[in-house]
Amino acid sequence: MNSTLQGLLTLTHFIQEVHNQQQVWRSHPESQLIRGFVEVEVCRFSNSKAEKKSVLAAFKKTVAEFNSEFEDDSQKDAHEFLSCVLDKLRSLSVDLQSAAGDMGISYTCPVNAHITFQMLSTRTCQGCGMQSMREEDYMNLSLDLVPGGTVSQCLQEYLKESQLEYRCECDAEESTQQMSFLTLPNVLILQLKRFRFTESFNLEKVDSPILLSRELMVKPASSITKQTMTRYSLVSIVSHLGSTAHSGHYICDGAHREQKPGDMTDRWLMYNDKDVSETTGASVCYLRQQTAYMLFYEKQNS
């Protein structure tokens, strides 16, 4: 929970959007998750261990009310926790938009504005060539590992055309399917699939190294828009340390966001529960090649 929240707290524009909507959510009874998230952000700078424990416990309780999976204290998956938190924040948008309308103002959902994006799935029959397209909302992508490859190669593998068994109206039984970006988010969250089931259905940890890219170039579907490549910068990494899928420890490395404009120093912080230490982005990308689990990229201003 700590590592996932630290990852989210490095997202400058997402956090700013949360604060921008304060007039709407601060008094709405259903917005305890947003209020709890802001309390977590504020108490990071407190020296009181008791205060931090209380705030985190309250946040966990709120998340558990939305998803009972997080009620107990056994080990959970960081990606599932992230998805749960973002789903809940997003689900509040309808009520908060209505509340904002009653106040004569508008509400912008921070998740929809900065993290949610649309993917286009195109299925093509190999017999008659008929295409079927489907648009779908995503908040992150889960990528298969390309051992020894880069993050960009893992993403390209996800976007690559694949074979699909599908019976078309023309009676052909083979089709292809391809995913492409319809829109691009301000924050692109990528999960690297470090856990997989064996043939005997045992869950195992995959420690194949991936070259972690400080920058990532992404292009939306060329048939939909003429937009050129968009550049993303890596701002935080959640890593799973441990040799098995049933044990281990999550940590977060995040870019230090309190630098002055024009400061080119490569300052990052490593969050390991209560211990925080200084590091660099270059060091993090080298050390986390076999353990990186979730990558948070922010869109660069053109």
pLDDT at 88: 95
Q: Of 125 and 39, which is predicted with more confidence?
A: 39
* 227 pLDDT more than 70: no
Residue 286 lies in a domain: yes
Residue 222 lies in a domain: yes
Residue 135 lies in a domain: no
* 259 pLDDT more than 60: no
Mean pLDDT rounded to a whole number for the chain: 90
* 262 pLDDT more than 70: no
Indicate whether 155 and 292 sit together in one domain. yes
Q: Per residue in 129-186, pLDDT tens?
A: 888 899 999 999 999 999 899 999 999 999 998 887 777 778 777 888 889 999 999 9
- Overall number of domains in the chain: 2
Indicate whether 199 and 274 sit together in one domain. yes
Residue 241 lies in a domain: yes
Tell me the three-class secondary structure of the chain, residue by residue: CHHHHHHHHCCHHHHHHHHHCHHHHCCCCCCHHHHHHHHHHHHCCCCCHHHHHHHHHHHHHHHHHHCHHHCCCCCCCHHHHHHHHHHHHHHCHHHHHHHHHHCCCCCCCHHHHHCCEEEEEEEEECCCCCEEEEEEEECCEEECCCCCCEHHHHHHHHHCCEEEECCCCCCCCEEEEEEEECCCCCEEEEEECCEEECCCCCEEECCCCCECCCEEEECCCCCCCCCCCEEEEEEEEEEEECCCCCCCEEEEEEECCCCCCCCCCCCEEEEECCEEEEECHHHHHHHCCCCEEEEEEEECCC
Indicate whether 150 and 107 sit together in one domain. no
Q: Per residue in 110-129, pLDDT tens?
A: 999 999 999 999 988 887 88
Q: What is the CA radius of gyration of the chain?
A: 21
pLDDT at 2: 93
Section 219-224 average pLDDT? 62
pLDDT at 183: 92
Q: Of 234 and 245, which is predicted with more confidence?
A: 234
Indicate whether 199 and 80 sit together in one domain. no
* 223 pLDDT more than 50: no
Residue 147's domain comprises 140-160+184-302
Q: Is 0.85 topped by the overall pTM? A: yes
Section 33-42 average pLDDT? 96
